[in-house]
Amino acid sequence: MNTIFRASVSFLILGAVTATTLSGQQPERNPFSQNSAVSQAPQGYTKEGVFGHKAMVVSAHPLASQVGAEILRHGGNAFDATVAVQLTLAVVFPVAGNISGGGFIVARMANGKTVTLDFREAAPMLASRDMFLDSAGNVIPRLSTFGHKASGVPGTVDAMVKLHKQYGKLPWKALVQPAIDIARNGVFLTVREAEGLNEVRESLEYYNPGKTYFLKPNKSPWKAGDKLVQEDLASTLERIRDKGRDGFYKGKTAELLVAEMKRGGGFITQKDLDAYSAKWRTPLRGSYRGHTIITMPPPSAGGVGLLQMLTILEAQPLKEWGVNSEKTAHCMIEVERRVYADRSEYLGDPDFYNVPMKGLLDQQYLRSRMSNYSPDKATPSTEITYGKDVRSFGSNDQTTHFSIVDPEGNAVALTTTLNGGYGSKVVVDGGGFFMNNEMDDFSVKPGAPNMFGAIGGEANAIQARKRMLSSMTPTIVEKDGKLSFLLGTPGGTTITTSVLQGIINIIDHSMTAQQAVNTKRFHHQYVPDIVRVEHGTFTTEVETALQQKGHTFRNIGTIGKLDVILRRADGSLEGAADPRGDDMAIGF
C-alpha cells in the first residue's frame, strides 16, 4: 500500500490548478428580466466544477486532494481519506494545515447517521481569565496572537486517531505515510505559499532564533517552485505513524513541544497533553426550504449562527430578489448584524458555559429579533444588542476546509486551523511544526475585539481547559433524506456568512456548486459596523443604493475559500474548489 501511495505521490504535478480568472467586466443586463435586482448578475470568478461518478475530494492543495483521492481509489473510505488529507495538509499547506491546531468534523454516514467531532484546542491548565491583560487591565498587544503564550493545547492528532479507530478501514500507517513521504522528499511551493512565508519572515526570525526550514538558509525570499523539505516534521509524523496518539502527546514529540513552550514562556505542559481529548458531539440540525442542515454545535458559534440566519431568511423571497441584489444584500446584512450580536453575548464552550441553544434557535425569538428591521435603512449596530429574552426559553489566511465523499456515500466536512496564518509563528524546535495561536479566539477582555474584530464577554472568557469559541462551520445538507451537498471555508468570523451564502446560492439561486463558490461574497458581523465585501460583489448601482440606506463598505480582498461537493440529481458528484486559493477538486 505504501509503495502505491509513494508512486502516486511522486508524479503529482504542482501548479496544475485549473486556471482562474477574476472577471473585471461590468455585469451584463439580462434583457428578459423585469426585475432590476435579478438582472444585475454579480461578477464572479470563472473556475470550472469537476465531476465524478462515485467519489470526490476538495481541499486547499492539489497534493492533499490527490492523496485523498488515492486513498479512496485503493479502498479507503471518507474517514481514511480525512486522516490522510489532514496530515498531508500539515506538510503541503503549513499556513493552516496542521498537527498542532484544532478543528471540527461534521460527518454523514452512507446510512444517514450523522456525527461531529470537536477537536478544538483547549486553554492550558495554567491559563487564566486575565492572562493577556497588563496590571492596569489593558490588553497587551500581540500576546494572544504571537509567540508561545498564544497557543492552546492541540487537538488534531487525537481527533485523527479517534476518527480512524471508530470509522477507518485501512491501516493507520498507510494513511500517515503519504504525508511523511512528501515532508521528506519536499513540496514545491505555489505562488501563494511562497508569498505567505515571505510575509511572516520577520516573525519567523524573531520567534525561531535558532533556525527553521521555513526560512531559506540565505534568508532570501521564497519563490514559486522552490522546494520545501521538512525533515523534522517527517520524523514527527513517523512517530505518529508508529505510535498513534502517543507519537504526538507523549514521548519525543511531547518533550520537544513542552521544551519549546518552556523556552518561550508558553503554558502548555505534559499534563495538558495527557488530558486533551477530542469530543464527539451531537450535530445541530435545522431546516431550510425543505432541506435538512446538519452542522457544528458549540464551541462553534458558526452552526448556531447559520441556523439562526437561515431561519430568519426563509421567510424572505431571496430567489425573486436575486443574488447580491440590493434587497437581498440589505436583508442579509441586517440579519447577520443581529445574529452576530447574539454570538457576542451567548456563545462559548458549552462544557463551561450554559449556552441557551433552545432560546437562540426558537422561531418566535428569531422573528422578534427583526422587529426593528427596516427594508429601507440600515439599523446602526449601536442600536442593536443581543436578544434580551433568550434565557426565558429555558435550558436549553488562516484556516482550511476540505470536503470528501467516498464511493460508499459517506461524507466528511472538516474545517481545521492554527488560527492566524502559520499560527503563533513558533516552530517547535526539532519537531518542525507550527504551533497555533488559538488563545486569541477567547474574549481576552469583555468587549475587546479579537484579530477578526469579534467581541465577547463572560461566555467566552478564558478558563483553564475551556475551548475557545470558533466560527468554523463545516456543514452537510440533506434533501429528502439523502445527501445533497457539503461545504465549509476558512475566513475567521466571515466563515459563517460564507457558508450561509454558499447554501443560499445553491438552494435559493439554483446555482451549481461551482457557481455558488465563484460568486462574490459580503459579510457583516455586528461590530465593526461595516459590510466587508469582495471587489465586484455588487454593481455600482446596488452599492450606491445600499450606501443610501446607511451601509458602509470595506473592500477586504477575498472572503473565504469554500470547498463544496454537490450530489446531482443523477447521483453524480460535482466538486467545487474555491478559485480564491490553490484549492483543487479531484473526483472519479
Residues that bind ligand DON (CB under 6 A): 397-399, 417, 419, 438, 441, 470-472, 490-492, 495
Nearest-angstrom CA–CA distance, 160 and 85: 10
Sign of the four-CA dihedral 34, 36, 37, 39: positive
- Compute φ and ψ for 215, nearest 5 degrees: -110, 140
Q: Which is nearer to ligand DON, 258 or 564 (CB)?
A: 564
Q: Is 399 a catalytic residue?
A: yes
Task: Give whichever of 38 and 360 is closer to ligand DON, judged by the CB atom.
Answer: 360
Query: Rounded to 5 degrees, what are φ and ψ at 463?
Result: -155, 145
The CB-of-2 to ligand DON minimum distance in angstroms stands at: 33
41 vs 556, beta carbon nearer ligand DON: 556
Least distance in Å: CB of 572 to ligand DON?
A: 31
Give residues with Cβ within 8 angstroms of 404, minimum separation 6.
55, 56, 57, 58, 68, 72, 78, 81, 82, 85, 411, 412, 414, 565
CB nearer to ligand DON: give 321 or 434. 434
Strand-pair category, 475-479 with 114-118: unpaired
Residue 563 C-beta: closest distance to ligand DON, Å: 13
CB of 9 to ligand DON, least distance (A): 27
Nearer to ligand DON, 301 or 390 (CB): 301
Q: Which is nearer to ligand DON, 417 or 501 (CB)?
A: 417
Distance CA 543, CA 550 (A): 11
**Which of 116, 399, 539, 558 is flagged as catalytic?**
399
The residue (of 27 and 490) whose beta carbon lies closer to ligand DON is 490
SS3 476: strand
Least distance between ligand DON and beta carbon 6 (Å): 32
Residue 498 backbone dihedrals phi, psi, to 5 degrees: -70, -40
Closest CA to 240 of 94, 510, 407, 433: 433
- Minimum Å gap between C-beta 84 and ligand DON is 22
Compare residues 122 and 511 and give the one whose CB is closer to ligand DON. Answer: 122
Contact 101, 423 (CB under 8 A): yes
Rounded least distance, CB 419 to ligand DON, Å: 4
The full 3-state SS of 174-195, as one line of letters, equals: HHHHHHHHHHHHCEECCHHHHH
For the chain, counts of helices (H) and of strands (E): 20, 19
Mutual angle of helices 172-185 and 156-167, in 10-degree steps? 140
As measured in angstroms, the least distance from the Cβ of 109 to ligand DON is 26
Contact 61, 50 (CB under 8 A): no
- Alpha helices in 122-250, H assignment, sequence order: 156-167, 172-185, 191-199, 201-207, 231-243, 246-249
Within 10 angstroms of residue 291's Cβ, the number of other Cβ atoms is 18
> C-beta of 288: minimal distance to ligand DON in Å?
22
> Interior CA angle at 502 toward 496 and 505, to 5°?
135
The secondary structure element, H or E, covering residue 455 is: none
Output 170 or 339, the one with its CB closest to ligand DON.
Answer: 339
CA pair distance 305, 332, nearest whole angstrom: 13
Tell me how far, at minimum, the Cβ of 451 lies from ligand DON, in Å.
Answer: 8
CA distance to 41, 447, 458, per residue, from 345 (Å): 37, 10, 8
**Cα(85)–Cα(194) distance, integer angstroms:** 21
Q: Which is nearer to ligand DON, 230 or 415 (CB)?
A: 415
Nearest to 84 by CA among 406, 321, 463: 406
Q: What φ, ψ does residue 180 adopt, rounded to 5°?
A: -60, -45
Cell representation of residue 237? 509524523
Q: Residue 48 is placed in which grid cell?
A: 470550472
Q: Which residues are catalytic?
A: 399
